[in-house]
Amino acid sequence: MEKAVELLKSLVDIPSSSGNESEILIYLEKWLIKEGFDFVVREETFVAGQIKAIVNNGQKKEAIILAGHVDTVVAGNLCDWKFPPTDAQVKEGKLFGLGASDMKGGDVGNLLAAASFIGQDLSQDIWVVGTANEELDGKGSEDFARYFSQNCSYESALCVIAEPTDLEKIYIGHVEIIL
């Protein structure tokens, strides 16, 4: 739990309002490399790490993608904050700061879940993705979907998006279709 709290504090402390995500994307790229992901890619609007499975002859090539966005809304009027929005604070067992719940907390869950598979004997590749511009136009998600469809050849892929929402919807799509 301590590792999760420290990583979340680090992410909240990085200003990353939509359109200004380069610092957090670079931070995450370095984190993925340090953790030992097999493959890491960073582009202008996303960063992704991959843990490769050992695929035997006749076995389907499949992927699980854990995705989230790394941008936040703007902080608004700083007088409305009890502390600086990009200075994560832990009070009464809760972490507060801009983006802590939407959605850097989900990103930390994705990152640590994916990293826990490093060195494991996997039957599917594991990807973890952080995208930019979700609060504006979703360009980071579109760019990653395009990158993934053009550079990866999976028979199937499952994507879990850790966005905090109450929409209660499940979307089913195909790799050829960008949702």
Map out the domains of the chain as residue ranges.
Answer: 2-161
Instruction: Outline where 71-162 has alpha helix (H).
Output: 105-115, 139-151
Tens of pLDDT, residue by residue over 80-120, are: 999 899 999 999 999 999 999 999 999 999 999 999 999 99
| Mean pLDDT of the region 50-63 | 81
**Architecture of the 2-161 domain:** 3-Layer(aba) Sandwich (3.40)
Tokens of 1: 């739990």
**What band does 124 get if pLDDT is binned at 50, 70 and 90?**
very high
Q: Alpha-carbon distance 80 to 98, whole Å? A: 12
In the chain, pLDDT over 90 holds for what percent of residues?
Answer: 78
The mean of the pLDDT values for the chain is 91
pTM: 0.89
Q: Which amino acid is at 41?
A: V
**Spatial distance between the Cα atoms of 130 and 108, rounded to a whole number of angstroms:** 10
pLDDT of residue 167: 72
